[in-house]
Amino acid sequence: MTAVTTELREILAEVVDPEIPVLSIADLGILRNVEESHDGAVIVTITPTYSGCPAMDHLRTEIERVLHENGRDRVEVVTTFQPAWTTDWMTTTGKTKLAEYGIAAPRTDATAPIRCPRCTADDSRLVSEFGATACKALRVCTSCGEPFDHFKEI
């Protein structure tokens, strides 16, 4: 990475997901690429977590805003669907932030138990395949009785 690309990525770390505000677009893994063209335009490539994600317009606006505030007048935000986003793109830091926020992070092994983010027990039951957003399922911990969201593996 060049120094310019590193600087641009640091600026973009300010952009957080509106549905899970503890995660930056980098933590979430939707920030795919940042580059500066030969004529000085900043080109940011993002991939939505799923097709039709309602947060994408907001994120596009926020990306443009933070770059403009940092002296970048020409910004192009490109959305790509190929390859499709996967939870494997989330950073380890992002997964830790999720758990601290009260959402069970996606598992790296789909056969591993889903841990309650409150008491860390690994026995929960599925209440609904869809939680507050399509990327989360609603579960209840059978140990502490607390409901929690689980960020589904995709």
Q: Taking the domains of the chain in order of start, what are their residue ranges? A: 3-85, 92-151
User: Which of residues 1 and 14 earns the better pLDDT score?
Assistant: 14
Q: How far apart are CA 75 and CA 63, in angstroms?
A: 9
pLDDT tens per residue, range 95-125: 999 999 999 999 988 899 999 999 999 999 9
Q: How far apart are CA 55 and CA 92, in angstroms?
A: 22
Position 71 confidence tier, pLDDT thresholds 50, 70, 90:
very high
pLDDT tens per residue, range 22-39: 999 999 999 999 999 999
**Tokens at residue 23, please?**
């995660």
For residue 102, what pLDDT is reported?
95
Position 1 confidence tier, pLDDT thresholds 50, 70, 90:
low
Superfamily of domain 3-85: Fe-S cluster assembly (FSCA) (3.30.300.130)
Q: How far apart are CA 61 and CA 69, in angstroms?
A: 12
**Count of C-beta atoms within a 10 Å radius of residue 68:** 13
Q: Taking a C-beta distance cutoff of 8 angstroms, is the pair 104, 113 a contact?
A: no
Q: How far apart are CA 81 and CA 83, in angstroms?
A: 6
